[in-house]
Amino acid sequence: MTESLGVGMVGYAFMGAAHSQAWRTAPHVFDLPLRPVLAVLCGRDPGATAAAAERYGFAGTETDWRALLERDDVQLIDVCTPGDSHAEISVAALEAGKHVLCEKPLANTMAEAESMAAAAGRAQARGVRSMVGFNYRRVPALALARELIASGRVGEIRHVRASYLQDWLTDPAFPLTWRLQREHAGSGALGDLGAHIVDLAQYLTGQLIAGVSGAAATFVPTRPIQGGGGATPPGTTPPGTTGPVTGPVTVDDAVAFTARLESGALASFEATRFATGRKNALRIEVNGSGGSLAFDLERLNELEFYDEAEDAATAGFRRILVTEPGHPYLSAWWPPGHVLGWEHTFTHQVRDLVTAIGQGTDPEPSFADGLQVQHVLQAVSASAESASRWTPV
């Protein structure tokens, strides 16, 4: 690793912390063609940005992301901001010749996502690479599941069922954050959680979703505004009344939808932040004519496999512990049985992105892949809003 890859990150909260650890870790674990360097961290609050930069290991800070476009020590911009700024930052970065890693979902609107995919296509012709951050593709067990499906081990795909369940909004007193406002987040559980399982379903099966029928719900329509005080936003508790100042929740709390894949296989999806007791419960199962595969994020190092060809007297789902050196990503880590954690998915993401940039190939998932997921999310939203029985993607 003689040539460096200067990283400029925009945003330093939850995803900023996860990405930073991955950038620091990847070159110490994997043999990369380029050496990532944490050049600059960008955030609007100078003090908080400086504190985060010191904690994460960034050499410098900026308070305006546009400054990153002019810096010679930045070759890649990592976008870890809310969705309302993904398009502006990513398009400008690509046009400035910077590689881009952008968190999912790709954008808040179809128009934004289309502009990002178009900018990525133009940049690709100049050797500038881009990738959207669907980190669950980098779980070794799920990468193994994709290999098994691609090799025909489960036969013809008939069913996919996926769910992503959390419970962090069950308390009505939880404050109104940016994730609950459409102008910042685009959507609620649909974009935040549903995007992951839509991408996984298409990634694992190698098929696109052809159509959907969906329903959505917002269970708590108003929430307390953080900090209170100040001018009362429209639709909130009027001045002089008792109780906290509240604001409207303008995104979905939960969504469920059925779908068909290109082959005609049936699929079902559920994403919610109101599944009491479920903290980060992602599960996906694929059933085929020759077998089945099932994965549960709470058992991240395991894959369940059922082989239809086995003798019925002894057949059953068997547990594969995905920690062998021959399993995806595992050759660089620990001896068999020494399990990995959630944060390793981001390290694997960095490994794949840096390898693609170094080799001059196109990383996956691309912005075009992110746009395809956006098409599905838009179709689900349209179906839910219109109560339509079926909405083509």
DSSP 124-136: HTTT--EEEE-GG
> Within its chain, how far is the Cα of 130 from the centroid?
15
The full set of domain ranges for the chain reads 4-136, 140-341+367-386
| pTM, rounded to two decimals | 0.94
140-341+367-386, superfamily in CATH? Dihydrodipicolinate Reductase; domain 2 (3.30.360.10)
Radius of gyration of the chain (CA): 22
What are the CB-based long-range contacts (under 8 Å, 24+) for 337-344?
Answer: 339/300, 339/301, 340/140, 340/300, 340/301, 341/300, 342/297, 342/300, 343/18, 343/21, 343/22, 344/138
Place of tokens 């940039």: 357
pLDDT at 388: 65
pLDDT at 303: 98
Please report, for residues 35, 201, 392, the alpha-carbon distance to residue 144 in angstroms, rounded to integers and kept in the order given.
27, 14, 31
Backbone angles phi, psi at 72, to 5 degrees: -75, -20
CATH 3.40.50.720 is right for the domain spanning 4-136: yes
Distance in angstroms (rounded) separating the CA atoms of residues 393 and 388: 13
Distance in angstroms (rounded) separating the CA atoms of residues 94 and 114: 14
pLDDT at 240: 54
The residue length of the chain stands at 393
Backbone angles phi, psi at 166, to 5 degrees: -135, 170
To which H or E segment does residue 24 belong? helix 14-29
Q: For the purposes of burial, counting CB atoms within 10 Å of the CB of 208, is it exposed (0-12), middle (13-18) or buried (19 or more)?
A: middle
Please report, for residues 136, 301, 333, the alpha-carbon distance to residue 336 in angstroms, rounded to integers and kept in the order given.
21, 11, 9
Percent helix, strand, coil in the chain, to 5, is 35, 25, 40
Q: Which amino acid is at 52?
A: A
Coil, strand or helix at 271: strand
What would the two tokens of residue 387 be? 């109560």
Do β-strands 4-10 and 35-42 pair in parallel, antiparallel, or remain unpaired?
A: parallel
State the CB neighbour count (10 A cutoff) for residue 60.
16
- DSSP-derived letter for residue 334 is P
Output the CA torsion 385→388→389→391 (10° steps). Answer: -90
Distance in angstroms (rounded) separating the CA atoms of residues 270 and 205: 18
The pLDDT profile of the chain, 393 residues, written as one tens digit per residue, is 569 999 999 999 999 999 999 999 999 999 999 999 999 999 999 999 999 999 999 999 999 999 999 999 999 999 999 999 999 999 999 999 999 999 999 999 999 999 999 999 999 999 999 999 999 999 999 999 999 999 999 999 999 999 999 999 999 999 999 999 999 999 999 999 999 999 999 999 999 999 999 999 999 999 999 865 433 344 455 555 556 799 999 999 999 999 999 999 999 999 999 999 999 999 999 999 999 999 999 999 999 999 999 999 999 999 999 999 999 999 999 999 999 999 999 999 999 999 999 999 999 999 999 999 999 999 999 999 987 666 778
